[in-house]
Amino acid sequence: MISLKLTSTSEYALRAMSLISFLPKSQSLRAVAIAEKTRVPLHYLQKILRKLVKAGLVVSIKGHGGGFRLSRPPGRITYGTILEAMGYEKGLSDCVFGWGRCRESRPCPMHGSWSQLNRQFVAWAEDTTLAHILDYSREKGIADY
Amino acid sequence: MISLKLTSTSEYALRAMSLISFLPKSQSLRAVAIAEKTRVPLHYLQKILRKLVKAGLVVSIKGHGGGFRLSRPPGRITYGTILEAMGYEKGLSDCVFGWGRCRESRPCPMHGSWSQLNRQFVAWAEDTTLAHILDYSREKGIADY
DNA sequence: ATTTCAATGGACCTTTATGTCCATAATAGG
DNA sequence: CCTATTATGGACATAAAGGTCCATTGAAAT
């Protein structure tokens, strides 16, 4: 059975951000704890967290009692922002055929089917936020990831 | 702007199959010609074509006047089949969190949003065939890729 | 039959993604 | 002011994806 697959890095980032979004206001979580809960390799997770910090999605606190927390309310962090922080936009062609100009006016043979799927992906990435996870979890009785 | 991205290999395969599907019945096209038209690196394309042959999606004819043609009508070749021939199902988890058991009954925090997107992808892969490309192209006045 | 053409298979290389490690820097708490 | 603690940065290692090359095989045309 075929299924959509993101890069490991992106998946890891989504997992980590999900977990962090469950934290009570102004509480932080250490990288080690995040790695354990999300089952992401610790040392690699550290790299990912650094990217998230650089992208301004999470804030890091050093020293005793430190860790990571969201930089802004979960409702203002979209999946797309997280993917972008992982460098997801690399292949910026929105045309499978690699045509520089692939528009409604001069479409490639796959334009119709592809752009339809792509629109759904973009909508998912831009409209869904971490708040969605919290709402969904509350609804389903999932307390803390 | 974020956009959905397949692996290069998969994109190349889709391009090649599209082009081949434009061929008149029982006519074939050489790898070199396919490479030129699709702008896929020749030697890499050859590898991809071999996979497509092995998967039974195209038929190869050796020697003078040889090349590649579809093994069955375009309406019976889905995008999903092509992706699978490229080994796309590798990461067979349909759960971003990597949960072995991620079902409606015991969902991960992202299950709601993710499975919705995934369903759209699966529908695209399984319901769209190469015939769609031909119909679309005829409609748009694209004659031959 | 011979020649020429085109796919095949596999070896090999390069780049990117993934993953590991550790020495350093910063900070909170005692 | 120490000290334990935690993030940071970069070096390094391994795996996977992407890409190249060519000697071999099979078939078609003359």
Residues 6 or more apart in contact with residue B131 via CB below 8 angstroms: B21, B73, B74, B75
Question: Which pLDDT score, from 0 to 100, does residue B88 have?
Answer: 85
Question: Which pLDDT score, from 0 to 100, does residue B51 have?
Answer: 98
Residues A83 and A91: their CA atoms lie apart, in Å, by 13
Question: Which pLDDT score, from 0 to 100, does residue B105 have?
Answer: 84
Structure tokens at A113: 């089917």
A124/B136 CB distance under 8 A: no
pLDDT band at B97 (very low <50, low <70, confident <90, very high): confident
Instruction: Give residues 89 to 128 of A whose Cβ lies within 8 Å of B.
Output: 89-94, 96-98, 107, 109-113, 116-118, 120-122, 124-126, 128
How, if at all, do strands B58-61 and B67-70 pair? Answer: antiparallel
Instruction: Give residues 25 to 84 of B whose Cβ lies within 8 Å of A.
Output: 38-39, 79-80, 83-84
SS3 B29: strand
Measured between CA atoms, how close is A72 to chain B, in angstroms? Answer: 19
Torsion on CA atoms A136, A129, A32, B96, rounded to nearest 10: 70
- Give the pLDDT of chain A (145 residues) as one tens digit per residue: 899 999 999 999 999 999 999 999 889 999 999 999 999 999 999 999 999 999 999 999 999 999 999 999 999 999 999 999 999 875 556 788 888 778 888 899 999 999 999 999 999 999 999 999 999 999 999 887 8
Q: Is the CB of A49 under 7 A from strand D?
A: yes
Q: Could you report the per-residue pLDDT of B41-95, keeping only the tens digit for each? A: 999 999 999 999 999 999 999 999 999 999 999 999 999 999 999 998 755 567 8
For the entire predicted model, the pTM comes to: 0.94
Nearest to A128 among B91, B113, B140 (CB): B113
